[in-house]
Chains A and B, each alone.
Chain A
Amino acid sequence: MSEHIVSKNLYFLIFGALMVLTAITVGVAFVNLGPLNNVVALTIAVIKALLVILYFMHVRYSSRLTWLVIVGGFFWLAIMFVLTSSDYLTRGWVSFTR
């Protein structure tokens, strides 16, 4: 466990970035990008989540074991998404009726 002290300025910087990204999300909602709507919204959301995890939750300065736990958690989330999509995205591939 490192006793890294994060400067106040960094916190404000991250907070500012989160606010800016939120504003972008709201702004983009008024522009129709077609199929990119979800992609853009989710990309921004992921960036924001990363900022919170890395800085506000101090993971960036944490031990390898902490990293392992977090990566493991996301990996398991990925298992859920990928295998569930393996159902939804392939429903048309094989059909019982000819």
Chain B
Amino acid sequence: MSGAAIIIVFFVLRVLVGTIGVGGLGSQEPRDRIERDFGFLLLWVLLGPAWLASWVGGIVDLNPWLLGTALALTPVMLPWALCRRITMPLGLVRMTYWIARLSMYVLGRDRYGGPLLAATVAFRQRPQSERTRAWLRGRYEKLKELRGGSATGWAVLLDEDDDDREMGQSRMEAAAWFDWRVSPAVGRRMVGEWLACRAIEQQHWRAALAVARRRESKLFWAGPKVLQKLGVSVSELAQAASRGTLDVVLAATGSRPAFGGSPALEVTEAVAQRALRDAHPPAGVSLRLALLRCAHREQWQAVLDEVSASTEKRAQAPAPTGDALADAVTTHLFVKSRPVTSAVELHRFGRAWEDVLYRDDTRAALVGRARALGVNNPEQVFERIEGEVTDAIAALVGEVDMGRDIAEPSTLVTMAAEEVRDQRVEALELCVGQIAGRVAANRRLPTVDEFEEFAVMLHLYDRVARSAADGRELAYSQIGSQLTDWACWLWNDRQQYSLANAIFRFCAVEGLRTNHIELARINLDNIGCRGG
């Protein structure tokens, strides 16, 4: 009985704290939480003592009626615990779905999508029949409104093909744009954990650090009015974007939903900091506790150890020796034998070959050597080498983030990057053009397919942004207003408030980053709209 009393007192206090607005910035938006807490409190006040008494009486007296009553009430009293500990690990898809429908406390922010997310996790735990898969897909396709939980669930459902991680990443990033108020915390954590694993897999340590740190930023969306209260203007946000500190400001004002606390994200932060040779990487008790709370903690520990060891023996770029040909060929070997991670490295590679192929003295020396060997047409050999070099650069340009200015750019790399950028811009324009055409013709897709288009668009946008220093600006200037129109249509005509809000949010943040202030302002205002 005392257990029920403690739970009841806890929720009474939570409701009181929320109602009198002690939560600081959080007091702007805790309404749904107060309602949720109040509902939970009511449930426990009405049924909690009876449920606990049934358990105690049933066990003490071995009374089957009391035990039956206690068992029957368990899915009502603790639906999420039942799902998380029993039905999900056992892979019971339908049972998980129906029990999770009762979990208003954990999944209430996405009343229909949250249970689908839980069912999808259950689906992933063991091989399932085609019938079950069809049932699950059908549930997603029938959703009236896609919210954060269902968007995450859809991304998890399609995340089966490990070779298609790029698209999986775009789906997760698309899900991360949903407002926290429509995204159950468990879904947001899953998105954060997936993106952290992806960044670690790609050895993008800065991205891993950014994902890990996003777990703690404030949860609450600050609309224009709250920004005003905080003393942050739109132009200040734009300035922060140009200084590269936009994420900090946005996190502080809470406009990007946090992933929430997760031991995996805590360990990710330690991994990234060790890889980046941070002066003070997390260690000690907090890290040990985080590791203890991680599922499969031995794998996380292995990654920590591996990163610590690899930073000691990290491959160093070959130092120049003065022999242009030897330097170029050695750099070629270096970039071909391991993943190239920076544009600076790629430009260095391009410049090394330019010193061989286009400098008169080195070229004359090579022609002399060719004549001595009896080569009739050394130019043919040069052309072949040039072809190999440009092919290597073209392949690498697609992999590396070229989205920043380089002090000494290589012409070969710049030309290859421009070609890649143009192809990617074309693909992005085609995608957004098709969406615009559909909007103009009022042609509606199932909600999950609208989300899929958002994810594809994010994927293409990111590719353009990474292809050149001006890639992001170019991409946004081409598609910003069409995306806003699409989101308005989703809001006004299709009542897809959550997805539209996610697109507004994306357009606002990217508008600020690319200095399209007016469009950013429109989208910031749109984010503040209330639907439903």
Asked if A and B are interacting partners, one says no
